[in-house]
Amino acid sequence: MTPPISQNWVALNTDQPIWSHFFMIAPLAVVGTREEEGYDLAPKHMITPMGFENYIGFVCTPAHQTYHNVKQYQEFSVSFPVPDQVIATSLTAANRQGVSSKSASVLDALEVSWAQSINAPVIAGAYMYLECALHKVVDGFGTNSLI
């Protein structure tokens, strides 16, 4: 006989973030923004519809340029890559400081297209694109924010 599930539960210490203790499935999306003289593409896996209306939200930190780009320009694109694009799009998160500008190296390495109604790149061949206007930024989730 299988013991009740409650006997198999493990209490997690919430004094530390719990997310490194297990894996869960989350979609990979790439957020595209205008950035001063160029553009930025940033992979995000903490992204989700926000209710049943036309809202989407993602987690970002003020330590990342994407946060500041969205606040400054009030718009962003979201690309959902096909499985064959996951590795290449994941590399948009690599640290490029001191090598070349992130904007130039990412846009040169990936095949991009351009959003139709906003000034932001999208990943060419992705299975879905969204062109988004900023609704609000909610700070205060530790060092993170909800955009």
pLDDT above 80 (res 2): no
Which of the pair, 25 or 34, is modelled with greater confidence? 34
Exposed e or buried b for every residue in 5-34, given b needs 16+ CB within 10 A?
eeeeeeeeeeeeeeeeeeeeeeebbbbbbb
Better-predicted residue by pLDDT, 58 or 9: 58
pTM of the predicted model, to two decimals? 0.83
